[in-house]
Structure 1
Amino acid sequence: MDLCKDASHLDLGFYAYRDKKYTQRYRSAWESDQRFKGWLQPYPGDRTRARCKICGAGFQAHLKSIIGHSSGKKHLENMKSSASKIQATVDTIFQPLENYPTKIAELKLAVYVTEHASDQSVDNLSEVISQLDNKSEVLQKINLHRSKCSRLQKYVIAPSFSKTLRNDISDHFSLFADEITNEGNLSCLALTIRYFSESKKRMVDTFYRLVPLRDSKAGDIYVTVKNCLMEDGLDVNKLMGIGTDGANLMVIHHHSLVTLLKNDNPEIILIRCVCHSLHLSASKACENLPTVLEFLVKETHTWFSKSPKRINKYTNLYKVLEDRVPKKVDGLASVRWLSRLDAIGVILDQWDSLKRHFEICQTSERCYITEQLSQAYKDPRNKLYLLYLRKVLKEVMRVNKLFQGQKVEVTILTEDFIDMYRNIMHMVIESCHLSKCAKENLPYLEFQNYILPLNEINFGYEFNTFAESCGSTSKELVCIKEKCRQFVLELINQVQLRLPGNVDALFLLQKLHPSVATSQSKGSIANIASRYRSVVRDIDELENEWDVLHLEQWPKSCLESSIGFWAEVYEKLDSAGNRKFPNISAFALALLSLPFSNANVERIFSDIMNIVHSKVRNGFSVRSAEAVLQIRYGLSLQGVTCVDFIPPEDMIRNFLAKAEEETQDNKDIVSLEVGIH
């Protein structure tokens, strides 16, 4: 009985083994077989199936099935068609570019639309152009609409300009990074780049990249920046400085974009935006003043901003009182007091007229805002505060405008910044103590024990004159002066907190001014060069070049600008055609690439938010916005417009190659002209 059971068990196992079916899997060796070469590939996600690239068909990974598909009628026809397309693509790529005037015309039209209009306008534009001359073959063949125009921008024109920019960056560079949010509430990282262009012999500030962020955290921003540099073949070790607006995720010490980048390159210099930092410093200092001042400035502008009737009424009153047309009260950002300096000046100049105007409106319009404004203008204390604000902010705004200038001598900015800082400190701090402090130590001065008493502070001629005639009590004047003193002290404190690193870097650049570099008694530069070993390979050689700069005869024209001077030094050759000062010139130009002047950067970010990603174009994708900016600033970098623009050879070749491609991916240019039949 047991034997029968055992035999039965063995028989069942034997037949079960015989019934098991063998499963053939795809073999990569088949791809080298001449019968299958060029079209056979594994089926995605299934190792038991194979796929034909030409037909797009899938079948079992059996040799018999593969041979059967290769001899099929449909496959043979597709193979012939594919061979002819490949030959046609090769023929078109190697034909002279002059044979494609229509392509060149379409590229120029796409560049024109990018520079001056939106993609929607190109639909009618191409049709209008084709009607201008019925005999012109080029105009009649133009076939450019918004979908094609958009794809040309993203996949043909913008990559060409981006490639030109990458090729122009030959050495060290700096980045300015800012996180922005578009109209669709999508967080993006905007990057601009500053570098010395050998071909143009000048510093270049231009748009670099606009990239969406998955998460507004320091780690995500760091990865995004690194990926951008890697994609474009830029070495992070050649990144001299990073400019930011001072946000915590950019500059905080323990975990930020700057600290993460310094793990890769410890020599990176952090440069906070000077203009933005001064704005924030003044805004923080204004918290020591009464809030009615902000209300007065803001609501005075708002009262007139949307009512021509009110403007005309006030203009007529002002003409009667002053016999001239009043200036407009500007409306500016609510958190930036420096940008309100012009508004404060206009309000003070028209104080009596505005006071009378709101007195009339208070009875005629019966509005709560006019009642509050009327009371604010009647209070002489508010005018005293604004008079002192104007006195202090004029000094700060002077330096702010210097940093916003397009043609700024960076090596002299240090003196202007320190002069402003010292002048503000002189308003409330003992002069004898300030005179003992060296300029480079002013940002670190502990001034709390050297504050002047109120009776020794000069609040200005206009303040003192109005204080004598306004009828305020001595107790009220003491309170006003104390708040004004606290305003200045807080302003000094905020500048110390936000900008010491900038001052250190600015002092480094002072030695690079032509008047210092060509002086016989300029001192050593080794202590500065030793901080940047990634830039300086041989400090002794650099010192030798630095010591003999004054022996050369330099053109007077280049001595007026630091960048022009060092560009001239960089190009100086010896009798053998080698550069005479390669080390010191490369070091100086690398330091001068630091992003101190923020004017071009802020204008670029303004273009992003106000022109490219506006409310009208809130559906504009980030990739499209980046392409538009790359083209616009690429044209500016080359010094041309859409009229002078000539499509380069690589752009035309790329257009021709894209026109021959067929793909089901909507991100590619699909059958621009040849494939749609």
Structure 2
Amino acid sequence: QSYCKEREANPLFSGWLQPVSGNTGKARCRCCNIQFTAEHTVLKNHAKSNKHQEKSKCLAPTQKSITQCMQVKPNPEKLKLETAIKTAELKLAGFLAEHNIAMRAADHLTDVLKDIFKDSNITQNLSFGRTKATAISKNIIGSCYFEELSEILKRKKSSVLIDESTDIGNVKTLCIVVHFFDNTKSVQTCSWKLAQIFSAQNRDAAQEGASAERLLMQVYLSNILGFGSDGCNTMMGKNNSVASRLQNEFPGILLQHCTCHSLHLCVSAACIQLPRRCEDLARDVYNYFKNSSKHMAQYQEFCHVEPHKLLKPSQTRWLSLQQVVKRISSQWDALLLFFTSQWLEARLNAAENIYRCLNDAWLRLYYYFLEWSLPKFTNLNENFQSEKVMITTLRSKMAETYKDILLSYMESNYAVMTPLSRLDPADASKFLPLSNMYLGVKQENPSHSQGILTNFRVRCQRFLVTACLEIKKRFNFDDPVLTHIECLTPSIATDQRSWSLYPSLLPLLQKVPRIVDPENTDLIQLIDDQWRQVPLMKLPENFKEMDVDQFWYNVLVLEDLGGRRVLKELAAFALDILIFPHSNASCKRVFSKINLIKNKTK
């Protein structure tokens, strides 16, 4: 007997009877998921079977109609409780993420909260485990942050900073950070994305630049003003680099090498001029104590010194070298006593090598010299790692440190009077005599022989010359933007005496076509007129003490008696130019946060 379509309307068969595709003599039960012949008797017997009647309960009408739903009035108390529960779950997920707490802790946290706050309806109705905590962090908190930042970048000008991870992980990642001014009275720095560079399709360094550019293009770059990164060829090379491609795509953007990277490379190159034993001593002392709590305890008991850890010199930690030198130099005498005992008693080769280095007065002179010279670089490095706006003082601070180093080994007239861009740090005819070089007060010790001092001073001179050559190679003291951007500093912008140096903003306006269109002469003239009005206006005294971005924000909202913003165009231009990058230390901070979760348990 063939399948009869009309039987589906029979109340006994409706809802579960279905035909079998390709076989007209068969029927199928949707509830039991079995087939049988399409005879009427077989169908009736199946409908009366216990198995079918048990499974057919799923066909009971449980969903309400739209009309019924519209007639039901929502319970305000219930809605209020549900909203409070969702808010609590959001805050708990944010708390776990902010404080780097493992998401699996949410499984136990909920039980603890329910046990503590038994009288709270919100807590007792929480359903918050590791799965929900992860989903909220990724799909709600993360997505909302990304959407909000995207909307800001669509309407605000921004600069982009990128850097690559340098940790020991197998996955190399690229961090993208954006720099912009939002209506929060200051320049903001926000993380945009952390993405993997190498993949199965991209496995060599030749494609690294293209991969970085492809990730960078996901940012809303139509309003990009500047790009900052370290000085590697992949990022800042002249040909086929990320910077060169951005220049072709967005003409007029400002490219800035990371100042912190550059300073670190200057110091590393200069340290090569010193004896290798300086570095060997630091590494040997660290290695002697690092895995032996016994040695450390013996050292502290023997010399009665404070329990300061001996540090390790690192090529990737910008500020580590000064701390290593300072720690060893401050404990030199104690270390000498301890390793004299270790060499005589334990007869270890490692202890003997360290003893001979510590007993070398010539080597100690180099540590005194490094203790004096390294802070010149590290203090500047720390300054440019700040999240505050530093672009207005970048050139002046670099020039100040550059001259300070030059004056320690060159004639003062030549170092001070010669323009920095034309000064030759390696011009031996302008060198001071070795005995007149300034190498710090600790060098003036009459106990040192003349031969040791001469050799020492020659090495130190090479160190200073190399450091200055590296600074000149990596920093352009004639950069037109950095030269003129200094005038935006509050103390200069409000001082009438600065008119002789900066009578007009036109030289700066002409160098930033992505902020002001060169053909818009009316706007250029308006900005320049407002610039000349600033020193004549009676601004509040506290304006001069503000950070540069906060100063120009307050100038932006400054109104006259008629409620008109009198310096609006000038302040808007200044705030746009202040987002130019000076270093990508912000990317390093993102990597530091990521490294917090890289451990054996996570």
TM value normalised by structure 2: 0.79
Deviations 1:271-319 (A, max 9, x none): 2222221111111111112111111112222323333322232223323
Q: Which residue of 2 aligns with 1:640?
A: none
- Matched with 2:94 is 111
Shift in Å, 1:335: 5.7
1:455-485: CA deviation from partner (whole Å, max 9, x where unpaired): 354143545434x4134x62x4433322221
Residue in structure 1 matching 2:301, options 298, 302, 316: 316
TM-score of the two chains, using structure 1 as the length reference: 0.71
**Structure 2 residue 412 is the aligned partner of structure 1 residue 431:** yes
Tell me the residue number matched to 1:495. Answer: 471
Judge conservation of contact 1:297–1:343 (CA < 8 Å) in 2. yes
| 8 A Cα contact 2:407 2:415, kept in partner | yes
Q: Which residue of 2 is the match for residue 529 of structure 1?
A: 509
Cα distance between partner residues in 1 of 2:565 and 2:133 = 46
What SS does the corresponding residue of 2:353 show, helix, strand or coil?
Answer: helix
Task: Map 1:470-509; keep pairs closer than 5 Å.
Answer: 470-471=448-449, 474=451, 476-500=452-476, 505-509=481-485
Aligned AA for 1:259? Answer: S
Residue equivalent to 2:330? 349
Give yes or no for contact 1:177–1:189 (8 Å, CA) kept in 2: yes
Contact 2:434 2:454 in 1 (8 A): no
- Name the SS of the counterpart of 1:511 in structure 2: helix
| C-alpha deviation, 1:505, in angstroms | 4.2
1:415 counterpart = 2:396: yes
Matches for 1:449-488 after TM superposition, within 5 Å: 449=427, 450-452=429-431, 454-455=433-434, 457-460=436-439, 462=441, 464-466=443-445, 468-471=446-449, 474=451, 476-488=452-464
Structure 2 partner of 1:510? 486
Does structure 2 conserve the Cα–Cα contact (< 8 Å) formed by 1:253 and 1:259? yes
Correspondent of 1:279 among 264, 270, 275: 264
AA of the residue aligned to 1:569? V
Answer yes or no: is the 8 Å Cα contact 2:434–2:457 preserved in 1. Answer: no
SS in 2 for 1:119: coil
Choose which of 356, 360, 364 in structure 2 pairs with 1:375.
356
**Deviation (angstroms), 1:374:** 0.9
Structure 2 vs 1, CA of residues 156 and 326 (structure 1 numbering), >3 Å: closer, same or farther? Answer: closer
Instruction: Give yes or no for contact 1:244–1:250 (8 Å, CA) kept in 2.
Output: yes
Contact 1:194 1:204 in 2 (8 A): yes
- Deviations, residues 560-590 of structure 1 (Å, cap 9, x unaligned): 1221210011112356655322321121111
- 2-side partners of 1:244 and 1:339: how far apart? 21
CA spacing shift, 1:222–1:425, aligned 2, 3 Å: same
Shift of 1:433: 1.7
2:423 to 433, 445, 467: 445
Question: Within 5 Å, which residues of 2 pair with 1:96-175?
Answer: 99-116=82-99, 117-134=101-118, 136-169=120-153, 170-175=155-160
Give the match for residue 214 of structure 2.
223
Report the Cα distance in structure 2 between the residues aligned to 1:285 and 1:336, rounded to whole angstroms: 16
The separation in 2 between residues aligned to 1:100 and 1:326, in whole angstroms, is: 53
> In the alignment, what sits opposite 2:29?
none
The share of aligned pairs that are identical, in percent, is 25
- Report the Cα distance in structure 2 between the residues aligned to 1:138 and 1:149, rounded to whole angstroms: 17
Among 556, 564, 576, the residue aligned to 1:570 = 556
Instruction: Decide whether aligned partners of structure 1 residues 327 and 143 sit closer, same or farther in structure 2, where only a CA change above 3 A counts.
Output: closer
8 Å Cα contact 1:421/1:492 also seen in 2: yes
Q: Distance in 2 between matches of 1:161 and 1:454?
A: 61
Q: Equivalents in 2 of 1:299, 1:503: separation in Å?
A: 43
Equivalent position amino acid for 2:98 in 1: E
Are residue 307 (structure 1) and residue 307 (structure 2) matched?
A: no
Alignment check: 8 A CA contact 1:283 1:336 kept: no
Structure-1 residue corresponding to 2:383: 402
* Residue in 1 that maps onto 2:578: 592
SS in 2 for 1:428: coil
Instruction: Give the CA deviation at 1:368.
Output: 1.8
Shift of 1:134: 4.5
After superposition, the C-alpha distances for 1:586-614 in whole angstroms (9 at most, x for unaligned) are 211111112226554432331122x14x1
1:63: which partner in 2?
Answer: none
Pair 541,461 (structure 1): closer, same or farther in 2 beyond 3 Å: closer
Counterparts in 2 of 1:535 and 1:411: CA distance versus 1, 3 Å: same
Deviation at 1:222, TM superposition (A): 0.6
Give me the whole-angstrom Cα distance separating, in 2, the residues matched to 1:174 and 1:115: 26
For residues 551 and 412 of structure 1, what CA distance do their matches in structure 2 show?
24
User: 2: CA distance between counterparts of 1:83 and 1:225?
Assistant: 50
Q: Distance in 2 between matches of 1:465 and 1:337?
A: 30
* Structure 1 residue 252 displacement after superposition: 0.9
Partner Cα separation in structure 2 for residue 396 and residue 585 of structure 1: 33
Counterpart amino acid of residue 216 in structure 2: V
Distance 2:579 2:410 in 1: 36
CA distance in 1 between counterparts of 2:182 and 2:61 reads 50
Which residue of the partner structure matches residue 39 of structure 2?
A: none
Structure 2 residue 158 is matched with structure 1 residue 177: no
CA distance in 2 between partners of 1:192 and 1:337 (Å): 20
Task: Pick closer, same or farther for the CA change 1:300–1:78 going to 2, 3 Å.
Answer: farther
Q: Which of residues 238, 243, 266 is equivalent to 1:258? A: 243
> Could you say what secondary structure the match of 1:579 adopts?
coil
Distance 1:195 1:122, change over 3 A: same
Residues 457, 385 of structure 1: CA spacing in aligned structure 2 closer, same or farther, 3 A cutoff?
A: same
User: Alignment partner for residue 615 of structure 1, among 575, 582, 599?
Assistant: 599
Opposite residue 177 of structure 1, the aligned amino acid is I
5+ residue gaps, structure 2 = 1-55, 518-522
Query: Is the Cα–Cα contact under 8 Å of residues 301 and 330 in structure 1 kept in the other structure?
Result: yes
In 2, distance between residues paired with 1:358 and 1:546?
A: 66
**How far apart, CA to CA, are the structure 1 residues paired with 2:119 and 2:307?**
59
Counterpart in the other structure of 1:296:
281
Q: CA deviation at 1:96?
A: 6.0
Partner amino acid, structure 2, of 1:107 = L
Secondary structure of 1:194's aligned partner: strand
Count of residues in correspondence between the two structures: 523
Task: Quote how far apart the aligned CAs of 1:409 are.
Answer: 5.6
Provide the C-alpha distance between the structure 2 equivalents of 1:278 and 1:348, rounded to a whole number of angstroms: 23
Shift of 1:362: 1.2
CA drift at 1:502: 9.7
Indicate how the Cα distance of structure 1 residues 113 and 394 shifts in structure 2: closer, same or farther if over 3 A, else same: closer
